[in-house]
Chains A and B, each alone.
Chain A
């Protein structure tokens, strides 16, 4: 299925924002300059067992009497992937990517550190050094430092008002404000004001650096997401509801990527996955969070057009949740989780990793999905094969990461 008909089938044609950057753009975009990696972090620990559902595993249904996703082919059932696993039905918008072999999963993936603290586990996943709290930089910033430097160019972006841990470090990263506010003119866009502040912030250490980066990325974003685009977007909407929330962010990211060939790394995040109570099954709380995520990812894949072929998107979360549901139709903090990998270079249509099963003996500490693939193995694979980082750089990005035992994850990318 080509992307255009895919969009039609999804009923998403009317959702296309940024007309020029959307479908019409696909034929005459700039040649892709580099390889891109986009990381989407689901903060709060998404329940991976209800994302990629082991529907052929009877233990799964025994442990989750109120929240299990029914077997494929039944009402609200999982969307079968390979006869053993199925996709949560709210993720239907990304099923075509699976079918076109651009989407893969790594099940039972996670951290070697056993912590069930959200904050420590997120910290480890962002520093890239499980168990070591003193690491001062995030792995995406270290990765940025190893890529070819293009001074004065926007090479890395993060969405949201605060710079995440994963990007902390010496490399310059722009952060893009969320939503439609991004392109509205402000006081600091006036020449007499910003000239006065330029004088006041000349040099001035960390504040001065942040100030100059902010002004630079602001100018770039104003150019890339100008009012004209917003107007076009409204026209392209044809009166249909505009994309909101995550889908709007991915649309803006796609536009930035289209227009900024130097941009190689991007980070986005979504919260609301800590489903201790009333998690729901095929419908409900978790489903309501998964659907906009899937729509945003599908939109991003489509909007990138040919550049999707040079893009790898990883969706990850700090740990999984208990295999058993808890006393409140929810799940508590667990261990192993599923990692999602999509993009042109992905050898998709396959669930990677060793499946440890959900039997009492297979579970981690008798309660959680075990971890059989280190999350760094997947990330390092993408850095090595897609971003083409040599070994010595990989050691800097993921020090002490296992270099062996990747199992079938070795074949995750086609490159």
Chain B
């Protein structure tokens, strides 16, 4: 939002601060800086956030956000996350109890098959709820932003098979979230080995052609992951690799897989290296020779990932994406260079790269620009945060994301969603956004509706599943009396405006002042200023 450039002219009717100066006073500058930090390091302010950041100081807030391990989750959030039972199940157990073995056990029985599908959907829904809960209510906002950033960077698709449904949350939990501010090489390795990625980009089936027990030639290379890991995850499309490198990397990564039979039999380790599928011949990858016969096979893949993580092309590619995400659609080249140097010097320490970014002149200078256009996800999350609503029912929010073309975990292609204005600003999107803003602002979304009982795990062992208890019970005392049909009351426009620090232009202020009060909350959430950050 263009807070510093804009005169913060307010109308007495709506004003809390009463400020109308053309040049912002020092206190106002701090407020603008605090809002900028809340918007860029996180998903924008909730009620009270602005006061808190101003009291602690913007620098202290940035440092706090860079150390999410020291930020305690509020007990209410923790309780609600704990109630999402399937988000605690291991990757291996999810496969056995909810995945293909469950489907196989259902056989031709239509009802049983339907139950398996419902249970898999339920697992994906709980993953979505967990993601939304944290994005909306976790004070470790940078951790949430970076989790979304990296998930999107190493995208997998919820709707590719039953595996997609059951593993999308476990993938984020095990391969993304622990490393969101960690070392890039760890992130790369964790995503490469997670069954969700092995499945999504097909590497689990890639193998050296080999004879089966009948003597028939079976299997062969699948290039899908080998290409995308270079094009999208590491070097970038102009990172200087060739088709030959793609094929050679695919050979190197043969045998990186998971073994359905062993998972079904109860193994707890989802990743497997299968030497039978590995190509032990020599390979030439990015100018290096990999002598297959000298290795145990698996180690070749680790070496290849080391090479990719250490490449200057990767440092540049990741730095560009971070600068584009946090600063501007066309990021300043000098900043990208500095970030890339920090990336190389710190051996891919993401926290240190971000520290450099958040202390850069370019980052703070961008506060004076028009601002970035919010993606649909950021728009929805920031609107609900500003409204201060305790969401019980996430369906209206997830439905809005579908309608906006950005379903959560629903990007089919491995490049993930873009985060630039040209991808999201279009006429239809504006109309849909404003419909959502009005529905939320006028209290027309059934966000308090209790969920229905969840389906039990089709193959759950020993009553581990509770059958889904209502997630809201712990929040009941804090929840205001619901409006009609389980809808929260409309946010108070005065409170909303104070939460957002009154960033409005004269035109917006006048339009708000001349509108009936019952429309104002929707107008604030649908204002041009709230579309940007």
Contacts and interface: CB of A to CB of B under 8 A. Distances in A.
B147 to A, nearest CB: 23
B516 A187 contact: no
A193 B221 CA distance: 58
**Most chain A CB atoms below 10 A, which of B223, B426, B512, B528:** B426
Q: Which of A115, A200, A203 has the most CB of B within 10 A?
A: A200
A167 to B, nearest CB: 9
Chain A: interface size category: 35 or more
Interface in A197-231: 197, 199-208, 210-211, 213-218
Interface string A101-142: 000000000000001111110000000000000000000000
B15 interface: no
Interface stretch (B26-34, B138-146, B430-438): B430-438
B520 to A, nearest CB: 9
Contact of A174 (B428, B432, B508, B522): B428
A199 B514 contact: yes
A161 B403 contact: yes
Given A276-B202, A332-B223, A217 B427 contact: yes
Interface string B277-296: 00000000000000000000
Given A215-B431, A276-B222, A277-B222, A204 B528 contact: yes
A277 B403 CA distance: 30
A197 B243 contact: no
A197 B523 contact: yes
B426 A210 contact: yes
A205 B423 CA distance: 17
Interface in A168-211: 168, 172-177, 181, 186-188, 192-193, 196-197, 199-208, 210-211
Contacts of A211: 427, 430-431, 434
B526 interface: yes
Nearest to B532: A207
B334 to A, nearest CB: 20
Interface in A29-60: 43-44
Nearest to B415: A119
B182 interface: no
Interface of A: 43-44, 115-120, 160-163, 168, 172-177, 181, 186-188, 192-193, 196-197, 199-208, 210-211, 213-218, 271-272, 274, 276-277, 326-328, 330, 332-333, 365
Given A117-B237, A163-B426, A326 B435 contact: no
B403 A326 contact: no
Given A117-B231, A188-B434, A197 B526 contact: yes
Contacts of A208: 528
Contacts of A332: 221-224
A207 B421 CA distance: 10
A201 B527 CA distance: 8
B425 A161 contact: no
B65 to A, nearest CB: 29
Given A327-B205, A328-B206, A330-B222, A161 B508 contact: no
Shortest 6 CB-CB contacts between residues of A and residues of B: A327-B220, A161-B405, A214-B427, A213-B427, A187-B438, A163-B426
Contacts of A205: 370
Contacts of B424: 162
Interface string B47-87: 00000000000000000000000000000000000000000
Given A163-B428, A214-B427, 10 more contacts: A119-B413, A119-B415, A193-B519, A206-B421, A207-B528, A208-B528, A211-B430, A211-B434, A214-B429, A276-B202
9 contacts: A163-B426, A173-B426, A200-B511, A200-B527, A210-B427, A274-B224, A276-B223, A327-B221, A328-B202
Contacts of B219: 327-328
B191 interface: no
Interface of B: 202, 205-207, 209, 219-224, 227, 231, 237, 243, 246, 370, 403-405, 412-413, 415, 421-432, 434-435, 438-439, 442, 444, 507-508, 510-512, 514-516, 519, 522-523, 526-528, 531
A207 B431 CA distance: 11
A326 B528 contact: no
Where chain B touches its partner, the secondary structure class is helix
Contacts of A196: 511, 514-515, 519, 523
Contacts of B428: 161, 163, 174-177, 214, 217-218
A215 B412 CA distance: 30
A207 B219 CA distance: 52
A193 B438 contact: yes
B483 to A, nearest CB: 16
Given A117-B237, A187-B435, A192-B519, A161 B429 contact: yes
A175 B426 contact: yes
B432 A210 contact: no
A188 B435 contact: yes
B206 A204 contact: no
B399 to A, nearest CB: 10
A202 B507 contact: yes
A200 B426 contact: no
A201 B528 contact: yes
B522 A193 contact: yes
A271 to B, nearest CB: 5
A79 B424 CA distance: 42
Contact of A118 (B207, B413, B444, B510): B413
B104 to A, nearest CB: 17
Contact of A200 (B220, B415, B432, B523): B523
A117 B512 CA distance: 48
Contacts of A207: 425, 430, 528, 531
Contacts of A192: 516, 519
A327 B208 CA distance: 8
Given A199-B514, A271-B413, A120 B426 contact: no
Contact of A326 (B221, B432, B519): B221
Contacts of B431: 186, 188, 211, 214-215, 218
A346 B439 CA distance: 48
B264 to A, nearest CB: 20
A187 B222 contact: no
A65 to B, nearest CB: 10
Nearest to A120: B237
Contacts of B370: 205
A277 B442 contact: no
A63 to B, nearest CB: 12
B511 A199 contact: yes
B224 A206 contact: no
A271 B531 CA distance: 29
Contacts of B227: 116-117, 333
Contacts of A168: 422
Contacts of A161: 403-405, 428-429, 432
A371 to B, nearest CB: 15
B404 to A, nearest CB: 6
Residue among B246, B427, B438, B442 facing the most chain A CB atoms (10 A cut-off): B427
Contacts of A330: 202, 222
Contacts of A203: 507
Contact of A177 (B207, B246, B403): B403
A277 B205 contact: yes
A271 B412 CA distance: 8
Nearest to B508: A200
